[in-house]
Chains A and B, each alone.
Chain A
Amino acid sequence: MTDAQAAHGAETRLGIGVSPGTAYGPVVQVAPPVAAPAGEAAPADPEAALEDVKAAFASVADDLEGRARHADDTAQQILKATALIAKDKGLHKAAGKQLAAGKGPANAISAAVDEYAAQFEALGGYFAERVTDLRDVGSRAVAAVLGVPAPGVPDFTEPSVVVAEDLAPAETATLDRSLVVGIVTQAGGRTSHTAILAAQMGIPAVVQLPGACAIEPGTPVSVDGDSGEVVVAPDRSLVEAQRVRREKRAEALSASRGPGRTKDGHAVALLANIGGVQDAVEAGAQDLEGVGLFRTEFVFLSADRAPTVEEQADIYRKVLEPFGDRRVVVRTLDAGADKPLAFADLGPEENPALGRRGLRLSAERPDLLDAQLEALAVAARDTGADVRVMAPMVATVEEAAWFARRVRENGLPKAGVMIEVPGAALRARHVLAEVDFGSLGTNDLAQYTMAADRMQGALSDLLDPWQPAVLDVVAAACDGARRTGRPIGVCGESAGDALLALVLAGLGVSSLSMAPSKVPVVRLALSLHTLPECQGLAEVARGAATAREALDAVRAAARDELTDLL
C-alpha cells in the first residue's frame, strides 16, 4: 500500500485469487442463514402464531416469485420451484402442529423443515439434494418471522461486488452476470464450487479474504482476481490505475488468438475443462484447441440406476459435436465414497479420498466402465471426434495396463491416465509406458503430496500448487514422460494460472487444460516467453524454499509485458 492510499483510509487485504481479472464496485453483503433462537417463548395464541408463520412463508414466496420475474431461464425455474415450497400447505400444517405443541414460531418453522428434510434425506440421491432448497426456504421464513434480513443475495441494481462467508453453488449459479462485477468470500478454497463457477462465468473472484463479511455494505472495493488483493475504499488513483490496467489487459487479450505457442514456436495446446453439455457448447464456440478434461460424473450422479449405453452415447454425442475434429479428453467415471452413486455404492469409508474411488471403483464394477467406454466409442464413431480416454486415480503400472486394455478392447484408439497420485508421478516412466498419454491433476496431486484435504478451506496454503514439493512431483512426472516419449498435460486449476503455466511448460508439459475464461491470458503469457525462458522460470520456482517465494521469484523473473497485466 502506498502512503497516498493510507492517507485516504484505503486498506489492502490479501486473499487467494481464484478467477482472473480486476473489478471495482460497491459491496453487496450476502446475509448468512438465520437460525431459530434457543429459548424462544411458546406462543400465547398458537392460532394467531400460525397466521404469523403463514404470513412469513407468503412473504418468502412473494420475494422468490418477484426475483423469478427478473431472472434468466435456468434461475427462473429454480426460483419458482423454491417459491412453491414456501407455499406448501403440508409445510404450513407441520409448522402449525409444532406451534400447538408449544414451540415458538421460528422454532416451529425449523422443526417443520427438519421433518421434511429427514424424509428427503431418507429417499437419498437426487431427493437429498433438494434439502438445500428446503432449508433455504426455512431459513428465509425464520428470518421473516423474526423480522431480520433475509439470507442470501439481496436485490441490487448497480454493478457490485458480491461478498459472502461462502456461496452455495445454486447462489453462485443464479447471480446476474451483468450486475456482479466481482465475488469475494471469507471462506472457501482454491477448488471450492465458488472458485470453479466464478472462473467458468468469467467473474473475477477472491476467496479466503480475512474479515470479508465485516465490510460495510456499499463500501467501494477493488478486487484483483489474480493476486488475491482486495482494497477496501481504494484511493481514486488506484482505481484509475486498475481501470487502465483492465483496459490494457482486455486489449492485449483480445489480440491473442490461435493455438498455444511459446515465443519461439514451441506448441503447448490450450484446452478447456468441461463438466456437461452446456459447458461443451460454450467452450466449443471459443478459440481453444479442444477439451483436456471432460468430467463425466454428471451423467451418473443424479441417476438412480446405471445409465444405458444408448443414453450415455446420446449425451456424449452432444458433448463431442461442438468440437468438430478438435481433441476431447474424456475422464472416465470418477466417483467414490465422497461422490456416491445410488447404483454402485460400496458403503461408507473412513477416508474417502484414499478409498475405493476413481479407477478403483471401476475395478470393482467393470460393467460400469465397459458401458461407458462402449458409449464413448459409439459417440466417437458417430461424430468423427478425436476422443481420448483417461482413467482417474491410477497408482500403479498394473492399473494403467488394465485400463488401457479395456479401452482398446472397446475400440477406442487412445488411452491415458491421470497422474494425481504421487506414487504414479514418481514412477511415470513405467506407468506411462502402458498408455498413450498422461494428464496431471494438480488439485489432487497437491492434496496427496501435502496430505491436506482439498475440501478444507483452512488448508488452502498447503494446497497451493506453488508448493515446491508439488512442483518437484510434477517435474518427476514430466521427466518420466520424456523418458518414455509420452506427452503429458495438466488439467488442474493450476494450468489456468498464467505464471504457473509458464513453469509447467518449462517442466515439459505439452498441454494445459483450464476454465475456458482463463485461456486468453495463458495464451498471451506463453507467447511472450521462449521455451528456454520457461525452463529458466521452472528452475527459479523449484529453487525457491517456500510457495510464496516461488511465486514471487517467478513473478519477478517473468517478462514485464505479462506481469504488468496481471
Chain B
Amino acid sequence: MAQRTVTIASSVGLHARPAALFVEAVNETGLDVEIGRPGDDAVDASSILGVMALGAKHGEEVVLTADGDGAEEALDGLVALLSRDLDAE
C-alpha cells in the first residue's frame, strides 16, 4: 500500500474549489484513494462531501493512501496538487 503525508497549502483549506480539484484528480487516477488526518479514520478521497467534511485547514497535515498499479505515481501527483495554493490560482 502506498502512503504519503502532505501539508495543505491552500490558504482557505481543503474545501470548495480546492476540494473539487482534488476530488477530480483522485477520480482521474481510477484508484481507491483514502484521505485522513494522521492517526484518525480515513475517508474515501473520491467523495467531495467526505473530503469537505474532513474540514482540513491550511497548514494541516493529511495522510493519503492508495492500493494497486500506479499507486505510488498517483499519490505523488496528488501530493503535488495539495502542496499548491489551489485557491489562489
Query: Residues on A close to B: CB < 8 A?
Result: 77, 80-81, 84-85, 88-91, 116, 119-120, 123, 126-127, 130, 134, 302, 304
Given the contacts A84-B24, A90-B44, A304-B57, A126 and B16 also touching, CB distance less than 8 Å: yes
Contact A123 B53 (CB under 8 A): yes
B20 neighbours in A (Cβ, 8 Å): 77, 80-81, 84
* B25 CB → nearest A CB, Å: 12
Residue of A nearest to B53 (CB): A119
Contact B44 A81 (CB under 8 A): no
* A21 CB → nearest B CB, Å: 33
B17 neighbours in A (Cβ, 8 Å): 77, 81
From B15, B16, B47, give the contact of A88 (CB < 8 A).
Answer: B47
From A77, A80, A90, A304, give the contact of B49 (CB < 8 A).
Answer: A90
* A319 CB → nearest B CB, Å: 17
From B13, B23, B55, B57, give the contact of A84 (CB < 8 A).
Answer: B23
* A9 CB → nearest B CB, Å: 48
* A67 CB → nearest B CB, Å: 15
* B59 CB → nearest A CB, Å: 10
Contact B48 A116 (CB under 8 A): no
Contact A88 B48 (CB under 8 A): yes
Residue of B nearest to A311 (CB): B11
19 further interface pairs, Cβ-Cβ under 8 Å (given A84-B48, A116-B49, A130-B52): A81-B16, A81-B20, A81-B48, A84-B20, A84-B24, A88-B48, A88-B49, A88-B50, A89-B44, A89-B46, A89-B47, A91-B47, A119-B53, A123-B55, A127-B52, A130-B15, A130-B16, A304-B13, A304-B57
A304 to B48, CA, bound (A): 21
B42 within 8 A of A: no
The 9 closest A-B pairs by CB, nearest first: A81-B20, A90-B47, A84-B48, A88-B49, A119-B53, A90-B50, A88-B47, A123-B55, A116-B49
B63 within 8 A of A: no
Contact A126 B15 (CB under 8 A): yes
Residue of B12, B16, B17, B46 with most partner-chain A CB within 10 A: B16
Q: How many A-B residue contacts, CB cutoff 8 Å?
A: 51
Query: Could you list 26 examples of A-B contacts with CB < 8 Å?
Result: A77-B17, A80-B24, A81-B17, A81-B19, A81-B48, A84-B20, A84-B23, A84-B24, A84-B48, A85-B48, A88-B49, A88-B50, A89-B46, A89-B47, A90-B44, A90-B49, A91-B47, A116-B49, A116-B53, A119-B53, A127-B52, A127-B53, A127-B55, A130-B16, A130-B52, A304-B13
CB under 8 Å from chain A, chain B span 43-72 = 43-44, 46-50, 52-53, 55, 57
A77 to B49, CA, bound (A): 16
Residue of A88, A120, A123, A126 with most partner-chain B CB within 10 A: A88
* A118 CB → nearest B CB, Å: 10
B16 neighbours in A (Cβ, 8 Å): 81, 126, 130
B57 neighbours in A (Cβ, 8 Å): 304
A116 neighbours in B (Cβ, 8 Å): 49, 53
A120 to B24, CA, bound (A): 21
A170 to B50, CA, bound (A): 23
**B18-36 to A contact mask, C-beta < 8 Å, 1/0:** 0110011000000000000
A81 neighbours in B (Cβ, 8 Å): 16-17, 19-20, 48
A236 to B18, CA, bound (A): 51
B15 neighbours in A (Cβ, 8 Å): 126-127, 130
Residue of A81, A89, A130 with most partner-chain B CB within 10 A: A81
From B13, B43, B44, B53, give the contact of A120 (CB < 8 A).
Answer: B53
Contact A302 B12 (CB under 8 A): yes
